[in-house]
Structure 1
Amino acid sequence: MAIDKKEVSEIVEAIGGKDNINKATHCVTRLRFALADEDKVDKEKLESIGLVKGSFSANNQFQVVIGQGTVDKVYDEMVNQTGIGEASKDDVKQATEDKMNPLQWAVKVLADIFIPILPAIVTAGLLLGINNLLTGEGIFFEQAVVEAYPQWSGLAGMIATIANTAFTFLPALVGWSAVNRFGGSPLLGIVLGLILVHPDLLSAYSVATAEEIPTWNLFGLDVQQVGYQGQVLPVLVASYILAKMERYLRNKVPDSIQMLVVAPVALLVTGLLSFIVIGPVTFTIANWITSAIVGIFNFSPILGGLVYGGLYGPLVITGMHHLFLAVDLQLISSIDGTFLWPMVALSNIAQGSAALAMMFVTKREQTKGLAFTSAISAYLGVTEPAMFGVNLNYRFAFLSAILGSALAGAWISFRGVLAASIGIGGLPAFLSIFAEHWVSFFIGMAIAVAVPFVLTFIIGKSKRQEA
């Protein structure tokens, strides 16, 4: 579908003109700008443009929500019209980093590391969902499908192997992304991650039941031969050290012998530090963090669900929701499932339901169309168009979504709903939920659909909203 070139020029004008644009790039749904002066943005004019579904500023980036697919064409046309050079996401991020405080920087770093590996995690989650359908009891029959039809067991086993690979070698994925983010060679990051899950090591999953933990003797120091399967924190810290050491050596070692020195020395030193210091210390810290979070939800699952379910929407606005990707993965490794991700999926649904209600409340055709399409997007796990294009513009809609998400979160937390994987949001998220929790999760979905929709509709009608 062709785009209106005039509207693209209006977008440029509304954000202060091309002279106000330091760098520009785009993601799946949004244009991302590093602007010279955000005060020059005319938000009212910007959001009256048909192509624009919302705008917001986060982490010193000004972002304009366009929509999946269309954003690529808008960006290309904007580059043609303005003559600004195409920039990568890294270019825009670098242009905004100097303005960040330490917390913003930490959140951004985690987002930069985990977002690139999400496609692998989402794929693994979907395949695990299919495997659950084949191996779970009481879904289609009283017994599992593979028990009723043994000829399907081979297929289920192969799917399980393919699905579990991303989680089995998670440190390799994180190592690749983290070392790349910290300025090192991604290939060395992969090798570092694989070292931490080498088959000669005792699996992290077997430590608790092992009769004896094997050790290396390093000049009188006993070092445990333990792997870090499913762990995030050890490989994050090790990747940072590896990248910094590699960059240091590249600056100091003559070019003629760099291949013989840089990678071997950086990898050997980082590997030794990983097994001697980094791994044991960060593994302990990760267990403390996991125990603390689990303890909070065990103490009061309803309160925990209310707080996290309600806060997730506001966390998305700040970008801080990326912090919890690492927590989800740690929970999956430690307790074989995460109780946080199901609440994320319900938050998606709640935002979509509030946006859908606005379609029946508003009298403006443009807002009706935006509300409908953004609701579908949120129901499929992408909430930015619904949040920034509709719900935040009408605060009662956003607050209704938060309340619905909080109540749904409290319910599924009380029922102990767990997800086997992360990445699948919105309505399809049930595929990542353990089959024995489906009934409770579906009730949570019903709450997330009904409460925001009804509240938004009633409040909107009482206000006689003219949006």
Structure 2
Amino acid sequence: MAKYEQQVRDILEAIGGEENVEKATHCVTRLRFALKDEDLVDEEKLEAIDIVKGSFSTNGQFQVIIGQGTVDQVYRDMMAMTDIGEASKSDVKDASAQKMNPFQRAIKTLADIFIPILPAIVTAGLLLGLNNILTGEDIFFDGQSVVDVYPQWADLAEMIFIIAHAAFQFLPALIGWSAVRRFGGSDLLGIVLGLILVHPNLLSAWEYADAQTAGEVPVWNVFGLNVEATGYQGQVLPVLAASFILAKLELWLRSKTPDAIQLLVVAPVALLVTGLVTFIAIGPITFAAGNAITDGFVWLFDFAPAVGGFVYGLLYAPMVVTGMHHAFLAVDLQLVGTGDGTFLWPILALSNIAQGAAAFAMFFVTRNENVKGLAGTSGLSAWLGVTEPAMFGVNIRFKFPFICAIAGASIAATYISINRVLAESVGVGGVPGIFSIQAGSWLEFSIGMVIAIVVPFTLTLLYGRTIAKGQFN
């Protein structure tokens, strides 16, 4: 007899039966289903099962929160008891994608491209935070940094900066690898394409504005066309568009080229054609488009920082529900690429903290042991940058904690936007995120964190214990 035989039967019954399951897999804490009809799910019956700590639907997948360790055994039992058959995460994603509209598929594509490179970006952000501690003034000494007071630390700080900044310096290579792979091409060619766009012989994108003002932008003459010899450091759109063309061209060439000469034809032709098209047309157009998007956000936050902060703080958590937040990672990386820092990412970090605070409040509100356990663990997870368990398992489930968290995030975001808080890089989207904030804004960001903790926690606690007394038991 399987260890969780009865629970598996109950879960299957609650999600519409085995026949309603198209694909099934699991991650560290959750069962992930691609269901034929999510309307057949009885969430109340599902969440009454003793091992189930919550459930939610996102990006065409229905996910059941079980918990680390237990979920492995539950999945094994389910596979042994049914004819569903094991599937990979990509199988479930592909099955789920078929139910999405074009907009949802576009957002999912961005997520598929950026999520694999996040570990490198977050690691770089943490290391840049360490560099900030060593080189930032007024952190430990008035008007001076650690390396000013202790010059023997200067070379170490420079080494840390180089290690940390490499991911941002060669960002197009990371995006090229992930994007070309996502579009079906050779990921190695994607890396080469990204490196081409940041070749040291090109004018750096960070020096472009000054060179343009001085009239010193280098130009190639190609068949009578004047093509600016500029790189795309810190840029996102050029390499995304170029990766799509490279992947599709590579696949077309492979289908038309005899196997015997593919090595001599496919990669050289695909890279040459894509490179020429990128430098001549794609690069300049997408470079201008990317800068226009960035300038639009900068204008809003310069012209009305309170409005910009409040609106982004208000909308960020709902965007996570739809998956749209992945689109803004591209904007964050573009802002970081300018060298001035991003004002959007600090709001993301505060939103995550607010969701965690609301979940923690539910720990004290509810008497249900399953909910209490999930609230505590998911609240901590949110404070460390992973908000889905807190949002879907607790806050959205009971609705009001989610609203309280958004209220706290909006107020905190307004405060830090008024005080021009910027992040040097994209880091851990939670409490450790302070290390990615520019050193001169640590105090203001800390006050923002206090707001993002106190407001949601207090509102959720008061509502749960007074207005809705007994409702969450």
Equivalent residues in 2 for 1:303-314, closer than 5 Å: 303-314=307-318
Matched residue, 2:337:
333
Matched residue, 1:15:
15
State the 1:152 CA deviation. Answer: 1.8
Matched residue, 2:469:
464
Equivalent residues in 2 for 1:65-80, closer than 5 Å: 65-67=65-67, 70-80=70-80
State the 1:63 CA deviation. Answer: 2.0
State the 1:35 CA deviation. Answer: 1.1
Partner SS, residue 390 of structure 1: helix
Equivalent residues in 2 for 1:173-212, closer than 5 Å: 173-210=174-211, 211=214, 212=216
The answer to which of 38-47 and 25-34 deviates more is 25-34
State the 1:28 CA deviation. Answer: 4.7
> Over residues 408-456 of structure 1, what are the superposed CA-to-partner deviations in whole Å (9 max), with x where a residue is unaligned?
0111111110011114111111011011011110010010001011111
Task: Say which of 394, 404, 413 aligns to 2:408.
Answer: 404
Amino acid corresponding to residue 166 of structure 1 in structure 2 = A
Partner SS, residue 91 of structure 1: helix
State the 1:29 CA deviation. Answer: 4.2
Distance (Å, rounded) in 1 between the aligned partners of 2:121 and 2:252: 32
Distance (Å, rounded) in 1 between the aligned partners of 2:277 and 2:227: 11
State the 1:241 CA deviation. Answer: 0.4
Q: Structure 2 length as normaliser, TM-score?
A: 0.94
State the 1:72 CA deviation. Answer: 4.5
Amino acid corresponding to residue 424 of structure 1 in structure 2 = V
Contact 1:55 1:389 in 2 (8 A): yes
Distance (Å, rounded) in 2 between the aligned partners of 1:112 and 1:427: 25
Matched residue, 1:435:
439
The answer to which of 34-43 and 272-281 deviates more is 34-43
Distance (Å, rounded) in 1 between the aligned partners of 2:176 and 2:227: 22
The answer to which of 390-399 and 404-413 deviates more is 390-399
> Over residues 17-46 of structure 1, what are the superposed CA-to-partner deviations in whole Å (9 max), with x where a residue is unaligned?
332221123345433221122222221122
Amino acid corresponding to residue 303 of structure 1 in structure 2 = V
Matched residue, 1:62:
62
Describe the shift of the 1:234–1:29 C-alpha distance in structure 2 as closer, same or farther (beyond 3 A).
farther
Runs of 5+ unmatched residues, structure 1: none
Distance (Å, rounded) in 2 between the aligned partners of 1:135 and 1:437: 14
Matched residue, 1:346:
350
The answer to which of 318-327 and 39-48 deviates more is 39-48
State the 1:174 CA deviation. Answer: 0.4
Partner SS, residue 235 of structure 1: helix
Contact 1:362 1:368 in 2 (8 A): yes
State the 1:166 CA deviation. Answer: 0.5
Distance (Å, rounded) in 2 between the aligned partners of 1:326 and 1:29: 28
Matched residue, 1:47:
47
Runs of 5+ unmatched residues, structure 2: none
Amino acid corresponding to residue 154 of structure 2 in structure 1 = S
Describe the shift of the 1:27–1:280 C-alpha distance in structure 2 as closer, same or farther (beyond 3 A).
farther
Contact 1:118 1:423 in 2 (8 A): no
Describe the shift of the 1:227–1:71 C-alpha distance in structure 2 as closer, same or farther (beyond 3 A).
farther
Distance (Å, rounded) in 2 between the aligned partners of 1:51 and 1:319: 27
Contact 1:65 1:388 in 2 (8 A): no
Task: Say which of 301, 305, 327 aligns to 2:305.
Answer: 301
Give yes or no for the alignment of 1:394 onto 2:398: yes
> Over residues 205-245 of structure 1, what are the superposed CA-to-partner deviations in whole Å (9 max), with x where a residue is unaligned?
11122341222221221211100001000000000001111
Distance (Å, rounded) in 1 between the aligned partners of 2:5 and 2:438: 48
Contact 1:306 1:406 in 2 (8 A): yes
Partner SS, residue 87 of structure 1: coil
Give yes or no for the alignment of 1:363 onto 2:364: no
Matched residue, 2:225:
221
Q: Structure 1 length as normaliser, TM-score?
A: 0.95
Amino acid corresponding to residue 246 of structure 1 in structure 2 = E
Contact 2:221 2:227 in 1 (8 A): yes
Matched residue, 2:34:
34
Distance (Å, rounded) in 1 between the aligned partners of 2:67 and 2:307: 35
The answer to which of 240-249 and 204-213 deviates more is 204-213
State the 1:5 CA deviation. Answer: 5.5
Give yes or no for the alignment of 1:150 onto 2:151: yes
Describe the shift of the 1:454–1:151 C-alpha distance in structure 2 as closer, same or farther (beyond 3 A).
same
Q: Alignment identity in percent?
A: 65
Distance (Å, rounded) in 2 between the aligned partners of 1:65 and 1:103: 27
Contact 1:67 1:385 in 2 (8 A): no
The answer to which of 290-299 and 210-219 deviates more is 210-219
State the 1:356 CA deviation. Answer: 1.0
Number of matched pairs: 466
State the 1:4 CA deviation. Answer: 4.7
Distance (Å, rounded) in 1 between the aligned partners of 2:20 and 2:381: 31
Describe the shift of the 1:430–1:68 C-alpha distance in structure 2 as closer, same or farther (beyond 3 A).
farther
State the 1:11 CA deviation. Answer: 2.6
> Over residues 255-288 of structure 1, what are the superposed CA-to-partner deviations in whole Å (9 max), with x where a residue is unaligned?
1111111111111100000100000000000111
Describe the shift of the 1:190–1:5 C-alpha distance in structure 2 as closer, same or farther (beyond 3 A).
farther
Contact 2:128 2:161 in 1 (8 A): yes
> Over residues 113-139 of structure 1, what are the superposed CA-to-partner deviations in whole Å (9 max), with x where a residue is unaligned?
000100000100111111111111121
Distance (Å, rounded) in 1 between the aligned partners of 2:269 and 2:72: 43
The answer to which of 61-70 and 327-336 deviates more is 61-70
Matched residue, 1:127:
127
The answer to which of 36-45 and 407-416 deviates more is 36-45
Describe the shift of the 1:383–1:51 C-alpha distance in structure 2 as closer, same or farther (beyond 3 A).
farther
